[in-house]
Structure 1
Amino acid sequence: MTRVLELIEPSAPQEPSVALPWWQQPGTEPPKVCNVHRGTGEYLCASEADPSPLEPGIWLIPAHSYQIDPPVLKAGVAALINRDSNGWEIVPDHRGATVYTTDTGEPRQWLALGDLPEGYTLQAPSTEFDTWEGEQWVPDAAAIAEAARVVAYRKQALATQYSTERIGTLQDAVDLEMASEAEVAALTAWKVYRVELSRMDITAKVPSADDWPISPNDEALAAWLTSQLT
């Protein structure tokens, strides 16, 4: 009689079961906490509490963290933990914005949380002559007119200087009997122009472009004035 031997593979050894830490047990959820800046109390982010390894059911709340719902934020605001540490105070956040002093219009970058103090505004002045009145910048008409008069005075003085230099050179040519007919005519034209300049009354009003006399060589004069006024 033939005997059939059935070979049975030995079973693999079983790993011993390891108990999970209490905080990893099914159904265990760590509480959510809100973290704030330790100096200002500003909300930073939300995270989870840490488990206490030797105290089942005990969760460790980090310093400057609170077990409350996170704030609902939008652009331009920030949240600060309130005095009772059970809610949030929503405050304006202008950090990084350019603000302007209402007395001079000088710009500066803002770095603090909260409302702007008196004397500062987010509105930019439209000109260097604006003044702050109530809730807005208002152009100072007198200052604008005075600035325009100063520019006009400067232009008048420079144009007179240029014409005087031209007259001096041309007069030398005439005195030395070296002047051409064109130079004699130019001498007269520059003298007339200088007289017309001297008769301009800039104290009463700022002259318009049409109020200025035409020089014998406007192109050369304009180029020289540009080099002096810029």
Structure 2
Amino acid sequence: MTTFFDQTQTVTVSRYCSQGWWKGNFTEHVVKGTGLGPDCTLTVYSPSRDGVTARFNTQTQVWSEEIDDATLTPFYGPDGEQYALDYPDGTFPDWAIFGAPPEHDRDTQTVLHSGEAWTVYDIKMGAPYWDADCRRHVVSETCFTLPADHTWEAPPNTEKGFCPVLKDGQWQVVEDYRGQTQFDKKDATVSKTVTEAGPLPRGWTLKAPATVFDVWKNNRWQYDQDKARPAKSLSERRWRDAVLAFLLQRLEQFERDLQVAEQYRTGTLTAADYEHLLADRKRLCDYPDAAGFPFADRPTLSAPGQALADKVV
């Protein structure tokens, strides 16, 4: 209900918003026969301290108890955007951050709150960067942190057999043997494929041994007879035994043929061939005892003996 003044005068009033919250105290000049506006009251409220406010009840014409004015407390989103509540008794959202973000250049930088602290980021949208495998990437995030083992610097061009390697954030040009086979200098039977760029590990080489019996000496592989002797001896004995078995079969066949009439003989050996094979038998039996065995030359056989030896793989 509006009260009209019976005389012109100046009065002190408290003004409030549509929700009743105090907006301040003012001096109003009212003319006789008029009244105050709907947002004013002669029941003046004066805050007891800074940062508090009250709410006017238009029905009872009484101010509420004071509360802290939440609209005076700015808060921020994780992206640094500042907000304020609409009403003094409003509730702050769960994501509200009350510490202001650090000063930064809004044209070239942005901020992000991790939940614990603010971080200032240089805006790198569209900028290229490279990983340790020289793959090129492009920044697609506003708040971007360069991952570990990545760099803003493009990898250098390299010659064949070399490649760039990222170490401590800097490119280094190193040897590139990836895909090739490396051999253990301590054991010619051990090898593996190179999988990482850079110098070969100590004790390894790309030079392939000619045999499993090679040893690394004077910066090269050398055939080691002592290492090869057991296997070589076994191999030569097996060869001798196989040739000797063929030879004995032919000798036995010739001797059986001598016991039957000539028209019933099946062998093709002549008496001279028989003599030659007997001599070859002796040479083969003596071979393991020859000087330099098993690395000496194999015994020289007669033509029929050599024909039998040629059958042995």
More helix by percentage: 1
Kindly state the Cα deviation for residue 102 of structure 1 after the two structures are TM-superposed.
Answer: 1.7
Matches of 2:138 and 2:192 in 1, distance apart?
A: 39
Query: Is 2:183–2:191's contact at 8 Å kept on the other side of the alignment?
Result: yes
Q: CA deviation at 1:154?
A: 3.0
Question: Residues 110 and 160 of structure 1: is their aligned pair in 2 closer, same or farther, counting only changes over 3 Å?
Answer: same
Query: CA 1:196 to 1:138, structure 2 compared with 1: closer, same or farther past 3 Å?
Result: closer
Deviations 1:97-148 (A, max 9, x none): 2111222223321223433323322222233322123633223244467665
Cα distance change on mapping 1:98 and 1:197 into 2, 3 Å: closer
Map 1:184-199 onto structure 2 (within 5 A): 185=271, 186-199=273-286
**Could you tell me how far 1:65 is from its partner in structure 2?**
7.6
**Within 5 Å, which residues of 2 pair with 1:45-124?**
45-50=135-140, 52=142, 60-61=144-145, 63-64=147-148, 68-74=152-158, 75=160, 76-82=162-168, 85=169, 87-105=170-188, 106-124=190-208
* Preserved contact between residue 156 and residue 164 of structure 2 (Cα < 8 Å): no
Residue type at the aligned position of 1:96: G
Q: Structure 1 stretches of 5 or more lacking a match?
A: 1-21, 24-28, 37-41, 53-58
Counterpart secondary structure, 2:251: helix
Give the number of the structure whose alpha-carbon radius of gyration is greater: 2
Q: Following TM superposition, by how much is the alpha carbon of 1:63 offset from its aligned partner in structure 2, in angstroms? A: 3.9
Partner SS state of residue 258, structure 2: helix
| 3-state SS, counterpart of residue 196 of structure 2 | coil
Name the counterpart of 1:131. Answer: 215
Aligned counterpart in structure 1 of residue 134 of structure 2, from 38, 44, 60? 44
Distance change >3 Å, CA 60–CA 190, structure 1 → 2:
closer
Q: Distance in 1 between matches of 2:139 and 2:177?
A: 32
Amino acid aligned to 1:218: Q
After the TM superposition, which of the residue ranges 93-102 and 177-186 deviates more from structure 2? 177-186
**Structure 1 residues 184, 45: closer, same or farther in 2, change over 3 A?**
closer
Choose which of 224, 241, 246 in structure 2 pairs with 1:157. 241
d(CA) in 1 for partners of 2:268, 2:152: 93
Cα contact 1:99–1:107 (8 A) shared by 2: yes
Question: How far 1:213 moved relative to its partner?
Answer: 2.6
Q: Go from structure 1 to structure 2 and tell me whether the alpha carbon gap of 1:65 and 1:160 turns closer, same or farther (over 3 Å shift).
A: closer
Asked if structure 1 preserves the Cα contact closer than 8 Å seen for 2:174 and 2:198, the reply is yes
> Which residue of 130, 136, 149 maps to 1:35?
130
CA distance in 1, matches of 2:235, 2:149: 62
The answer on whether the counterparts of 2:276 and 2:302 sit within 8 Å (CA) in structure 1 is: no
Separation in structure 2 between the aligned mates of residue 50 and residue 182 of structure 1, nearest angstrom: 90
Length-normalised TM-score, structure 2? 0.47
What runs of 5+ residues in structure 2 fail to find an aligned partner?
1-106, 109-123
Per-residue deviation, 1:30: 5.9
User: Which residue is 1:218 aligned to?
Assistant: 306
Count of equivalent residues: 185
Please give the secondary structure, in 1, of the residue aligned with 2:134: strand
RMSD: 3.8
Aligned to 1:9: none
Relative to 1, partners in 2 of residues 1:81 and 1:196: Cα closer, same or farther, differing over 3 Å?
A: closer
Tell me which of 200, 224, 231 is aligned to 1:140.
Answer: 224
Q: Deviations over 1:54-97 (max 9, x none)?
A: xxxxx745545856322324242332141xx4x33444433222
CA contact (8 A) 1:130 1:140 kept: yes
Shift of residue 214 of structure 1?
0.9
Q: Check the 8 A contact 2:244/2:284 in 1, yes or no.
A: yes
Q: How far, CA to CA, are the matches of 2:236 and 2:187 in structure 1?
A: 25
Greater RCO, 1 or 2 (C-alpha within 8 Å, sep 6+): 1
